[in-house]
Amino acid sequence: MTKPNTEFPDFGLTPEQRRHAVRGHYYEWPGMDGERGEIWCYSDRFSYRAGETVALHVSSTAPTFGMTITRDGGSETKVFEKSGIAARWQESPDQCSAEGCGWEASFEFRVENDWSSGAYRVTLTADGRDGKPIQCHHLFIVSPQPGRKPGRVLQVAATGTWLAYNTWGGSNHYQGITGPDRNQYSPIVSTQRPWCRGFVVLPKDAPRVPLEVAVPPKTVPRYPHMEWALATGHSKKYASSGWASYDSHFFRFAEQAGYGVDLVSQHDLHFLPEILDGYDCAVFVGHDEYWTWEMRDAVDNYVERGGHAARFAGNFMWQTRLEDEARRQVCYKYRSRAEDPAYLPGGDVTRATNSWEAPEIGRPGSATFGLNATRGVYTGWGGCAPRGVRGFPVYRPEHWAFAGTGIYYGDLLGADSHVYGYEVDGLDFEIRGGLPYPTATSGAPDGLQVLAVGMASQVEESADIPIEDQFLTDEDGRFTAETLFGEASDANLEKVKRGNGMIVNFPRGKGEVFHAGSCEWVAGLLRQDPMVERVTKNVLDRYLGKS
């Protein structure tokens, strides 16, 4: 028997640096590389169609740079290369993460007609002041042309969540340099800034969030992904969001498995909901936490009309709003009831940027995808089930999604590749005759079947670990208690702190939804787990009419 690894990886940090890696606020900002020099860029939009022009906004300490553009799919295809492009240093406002950088466009190019839909990685390279190259990476999406696309999958990139976690410039929806003491997260984040380091490309050995260490008893929680980020100069949030950690793994898997797959942003969904109508199957993957009302409308209406939505993703949590022609995303989150203008007289409280489960919004997350984050959320990291199951415990192995897997009642699906974590979506449920059913008050859509369910937690609880060594504590649990039951009391915390993660399936109107509610489902595709691949193919084939 192989002895499990009980040692945390060592990235060369001191104990003080390890603590700063988790609790400190570090981020990318113009000028951070000092004498070496640096180059940054962003595009004016997230996505473009063939024939449209991409405007790149570049700030560089070098007077010229070279650029390559590569389609990042089942195989990598270079579509553009140019050297000697003129650049200059462009100053950025202090609050550029909220206001946008405001740089002038440095270079424009046309999306050619033969650039197929997908993600396109832009690599900018220039000479640093020390003679060594400086580099940055950007990403834009080529969206498909409208029209019927039989047999093709449409993947929707989680751009709302990318925006929320982007640390470039100092502020996002988690930490920041806003407020009177420059220590608050920003309820407003701008699209007009570069992506942080690690959102576009990552080395293969970059740690994922769920722990791969067999944690010994009474161990103070460690977060290897954040330690690695600090040690290697990547964003603290690289493993929480972005193309490189999440969306890319499904897209590559699908193309390599022979599926035709197109890509759009969530922002495309917001403004062009009819884009879904060309497809029999729409897919949502990874960490997919932030949605607008209009994005949900697009999915709900699509499924009602006969579409099939497959969500291999976790943490369906926050409503957002888009402002300034979608150049700004608004989400007040925990401060919503105190600060969001939607709560002021004359405001539309249904559009409040709070949890979807806030009763005043009147649109629980389970109404769209069958599950929600407030009955999820954390597992396999920190003090939240650190020794818990790494796969989904299966209850209904006879379901069509599990055909050909050889799985039995009580087996764990995806445990070898650790697909269960680090944030999961669930429902209030009960066990009858050894099978899980949603409770009458769970908000589950009619006809929902629970196929698999595992445990999760909204709080870190340990009598053996001092609270100052806990990262999450019970703050999220108390927020959920206040959101659902009006008060963050101990009694209400007891009602919400024990969560779960599920795989569910249900019909709606003429269509159908399948939801494997875990951020880490893509880890099973990345690590080529045969069972996870088979379930994924079963869902795609059914929804494309191939089975």
Cβ–Cβ < 8 Å for 279, 307:
yes
Return the pLDDT at 270.
98
* Residue among 471, 425, 489 at smallest CA distance from 452: 425
- Distance CA(399)–CA(424), nearest Å, equals 21
Q: Work out the mean pLDDT of the chain and round it to a whole number.
A: 96
| 3-class secondary structure per residue, 15-43 | HHHHHHHHHCCCCCCCCCCHHHCCEEEEE
- Alpha-carbon distance of 369 to 98, in angstroms, equals 30
Element (DSSP H or E) covering residue 432: strand 429-432
Name 125's Cβ contacts closer than 8 Å, sequence gap at least 6: 39, 65, 66, 67, 133, 134, 135
User: What is the C-alpha to C-alpha distance for residues 40 and 122, in angstroms, rounded to an integer?
Assistant: 11
Q: Which conformational region is residue 156 in: left (phi greater than 0), alpha (psi within -120 to 50 degrees), or beta?
A: beta
Phi and psi (nearest 5°) for 355? -60, 145
Identity of residue 368: T
Handedness of CA 325, 328, 334, 339 (dihedral sign): negative
pLDDT of residue 216: 86
Alpha helices for 77-165 (secondary structure H): 96-99, 159-165
Residues in the chain: 547
Chain centre to alpha carbon of residue 166? 11
Q: Give yes or no for a contact between 62 and 126, defined as CB atoms under 8 angstroms apart.
A: yes
CB 210 within 8 A of CB 390: yes
Q: What is the pLDDT of residue 3?
A: 62
The token pair that represents 460 in the structure block: 């870190």
Q: Which three-class secondary structure state does DSSP give residue 243?
A: helix
Task: Measure the CA–CA gap between 330 and 323, rounded to whole angstroms.
Answer: 7
Residue 22 corresponds to which tokens in the numbers above?
A: 């988790």
Torsion of CA 539, 422, 351, 284, to 10 degrees: -20
Residue 357: left if φ>0, alpha if ψ -120 to 50, beta else—which one?
alpha
226 SS3 class: helix
Q: Are 361 and 292 in contact (CB under 8 A)?
A: no
pLDDT of residue 379: 96
- CB count within 10 Å of CB 374 equals 27
Asked if residues 354 and 336 have their Cβ atoms less than 8 Å apart, the reply is yes
DSSP-based three-state secondary structure for 267: helix
Q: How far apart are the first and last CA of the chain?
A: 40
Distance, CA of 380 to CA of 415 (rounded, Å): 12
The list of the chain residues with pLDDT below 50 reads 1
Residue 415: Cβ-neighbour burial (10 angstroms; 0-12, 13-18, 19+): middle
Nearest to residue 373, comparing CAs of 465, 258, 291? Answer: 291
Burial classification of residue 128, based on how many CB atoms lie within 10 Å of its CB (0-12 exposed, 13-18 middle, 19 or more buried)? middle
Could you tell me which of 505, 472, 531 has the C-alpha nearest to residue 371?
505
Q: Locate tokens 């680090």: which residue?
A: 422
- C-alpha closest to that of 375 among 471, 277, 325, 444: 444
Return the pLDDT at 469: 79
What's the pLDDT at 1?
A: 46
